[in-house]
Amino acid sequence: MDEVIGVSQRHPAKYWHVLGDGRIQCDVCPRDCKLHEGQRGACFVRGRVDNRMVLTTYGRSSGFCIDPIEKKPLNHFFPGSSVFSFGTAGCNLACKFCQNWDISKSREMDRLMDSASPKAIAAAARAHDSLSVAFTYNDPVVFFEYALDTADACHQRGLMTVAVTAGYVHEAPRREFFAKMDAANIDLKSFSDDFYVKLCGGHLQPVLDTLSYVHHETKCWLEVTTLLIPGHNDSDQELGALTRWLAQELGPEVPLHLSAFHPDWKMTELPPTPSATLGRARRIALDAGLHYVYTGNIHDPEGGTTYCPSCRHATIVRDWYDIHHYDLTPQGCCPQCGSSIAGHFGTLAKPFGRHCLPVHLGLDA
Amino acid sequence: MNLSLPESACARRILAGTVIVLGAVLIFIAPETWPGMALLALGVLVELIGMWLAHHRRSHLKQFHDSP
């Protein structure tokens, strides 16, 4: 039986409709949860109360941190800047390899929660000199209304907004969501529908649709991440197909992050991704024509460096989230050949570094 | 030395509990002599390690890429 939704957890939710049999269907993501009174959706945080959909996590967070922007990961969106980051609880996918399961699978909301209004989050981000606010840790699609109100508050204060998402969202909320995001990192977990069905409880095509939509029809800066899981999505064939699709459908300038998996949640029997696998995957992606391919969650200065696609000059040298060398003009051009590097760049004063600073906003902020 | 902690919360709780009990036993059996003082100190150290294990909550993940 579903946990009762408390009075304080009933923020009106968008995107739902009543079905002929009396149930109501959530239209935020392709899971299309159909709910009786009192039930929660698969994400656990959207539910039905008094014949309408509510969001139970509005104004509550699993915690706030100031992170380097490279941790999202975004390597071409104001490198070296800090991003005020937060998430809530719940997720609309059910990945067996979830790297964030203590948040995404949380059923103990009150134990996890910090509270903060959208305006308080924007004010705190501004007070901590962050350039942007990220909706991350769990998928912001499930706290859609909270994320968008916070995005509005951030833009009013001159802050930018960043989404870290799996892109598993329906067309109408997708349009509204990404219209308010300045940058996004979207997880492409595999290039196999079978993988999405068996390991994530979802499907591939809606994610591909989101990637195409964000890149071609919005001003939101896009980077893509694929977590390489040994034996599941790291074959030459699959990586070739995935990277060719990215190069052909999105073009060569969308950065791709290939991240190392660590054993977690229900896939603890697998080994961590070997460095050699990440190197092989990076070579496949570069051969497919992608200009910016990075390895992540390992120490690999070669795989963390941004090279000019024209003259191969190392413009930004990174190791993990540390920037060791930065050699770009404020306009984002290579100083050697003048070619433009795709992305959004500014003047780098002092890189934020690899540390993550927890921030406590306090109750009723 | 590459020391890795158990990934599952259950396994980590069992390990922490075992270490805490071991520390308590060391403190309990320490005789009132100078060598006993060393055993007592070792017991306190083991207790602290056990408590750290019990509260150590996947902090190593904080350095990894965000992954929704």
Collect all residues of chain B within an 8 Å Cβ-Cβ radius of residue A355.
Answer: none
Question: So what's the pLDDT on residue A247?
Answer: 98
Q: Band the pLDDT of A1: cuts 50, 70, 90.
A: low
Question: So what's the pLDDT on residue B62?
Answer: 63
pLDDT in tens, A32-55: 999 999 999 999 999 999 999 999
The answer to whether residue B56 scores a pLDDT higher than 70 is no
In chain B, how long is the greatest CA-to-CA distance? 56
Question: So what's the pLDDT on residue A256?
Answer: 98
Identify any residues that bridge with A319 across adjacent strands, giving them in sequence order.
Answer: A322
Question: In this complex, do A99 and B61 lie within 8 Å of one another by their Cβ atoms?
Answer: yes
Mean of the pLDDT values across residues B51-57? 72
Collect all residues of chain B within an 8 Å Cβ-Cβ radius of residue A140.
Answer: 68
CATH 3.20.20.70 domain range(s) in chain A: 60-298+337-358
Question: So what's the pLDDT on residue A220?
Answer: 98
Residue A20 identity (one-letter amino acid)? G
Question: In this complex, do B68 and A268 lie within 8 Å of one another by their Cβ atoms?
Answer: no
More confident residue, A156 or A357: A156
Question: So what's the pLDDT on residue A364?
Answer: 47
Q: Band the pLDDT of A5: cuts 50, 70, 90.
A: confident
Q: Is A92 within 8 Å of A48 (Cβ atoms)?
A: no
User: What top-level class would CATH report for the domain A60-298+337-358?
Assistant: alpha beta
Question: So what's the pLDDT on residue A140?
Answer: 97
Inter-CA distances, A253 with A186, A292, A326, Å: 15, 7, 19
Collect all residues of chain A within an 8 Å Cβ-Cβ radius of residue B8.
Answer: 268
Residues 6+ apart with CB under 8 A from A198: none
Q: Is A295 within 8 Å of A278 (Cβ atoms)?
A: yes
Question: So what's the pLDDT on residue A350?
Answer: 87
ipTM over 0.90: no
Question: In this complex, do B67 and A354 lie within 8 Å of one another by their Cβ atoms?
Answer: no
Q: Band the pLDDT of B59: cuts 50, 70, 90.
A: low
Return mean pLDDT, chain A.
93
Mean of the pLDDT values across residues A125-134? 96
Q: How far apart are CA A206 and CA A156, in angstroms?
A: 31
Question: In this complex, do A257 and B63 lie within 8 Å of one another by their Cβ atoms?
Answer: no
B contact test, residue of A96, A190, A266, A297 with most B CBs within 10 A = A297
Question: In this complex, do B65 and A187 lie within 8 Å of one another by their Cβ atoms?
Answer: no
Q: How far apart are CA A55 and CA A90, in angstroms?
A: 11
